[in-house]
Amino acid sequence: MIFKKKPEPEAIDPIETGEENPFIDAANELAEMEENGELPEGFELSEAVKDYAFAALLSEFEPRAAVRIYVAEKRAEEAENNVKTRMSEQARSRKALPKSQRTDRAVAPAPDYMSMSREAFSALEQQYRNAAHNGKRVHI
């Protein structure tokens, strides 16, 4: 089976047919805005024309409105990323802080075996034996 290559369509000049091309009009208006310094601060036309989202905005809105919407969306995206970064940094810094040993209830101090009297030590030892005998786990 032999596949035939489709013939390439001939380029049609919109000027010859009398039709207007909205993208050419938009490009002309964008170039005019750039020459007059009417583009928002931080807006790079050369970068924006490479973005599919900007092209979609140009197909829906007038070039001036598309530029304003595109800039607003980029700024909102940047602000959202800044918030996410700040929140993750705060979470990391909180993890690095030491945790409080305090609880809501009173905690018995650890017994000091070295300074205990012989009678107190014997009583404590008897308590541990009774607890172990009753099946409780005893930690010293």
Residue 52 lies in a domain: yes
Q: Domain tally for the chain?
A: 1
Q: Which residues contact 14 (CB under 8 A, 6 or more apart)?
A: 20, 21, 24
The mean pLDDT value of the chain amounts to: 77
Residue 12 included in any domain: no
What pTM did the predictor assign?
0.49
Q: How far is Cα 138 from Cα 27, in angstroms, rounded to an integer?
A: 82
Which helix (H) or strand (E) is 127 found in, with range? helix 118-133
CA 116 from centroid of its chain's CA atoms: 58
Could you tell me which of 98, 117, 101 has the C-alpha nearest to residue 109?
A: 101
The residue range of the domain holding 36 is: 19-96
- Give tens-digit pLDDT for 4-54: 444 555 655 555 555 566 677 777 788 888 777 777 777 777 777 788 888
pLDDT above 50 (res 1): no
pLDDT for 59-87, tens place per residue?
Answer: 888 888 888 888 888 888 888 888 888 88
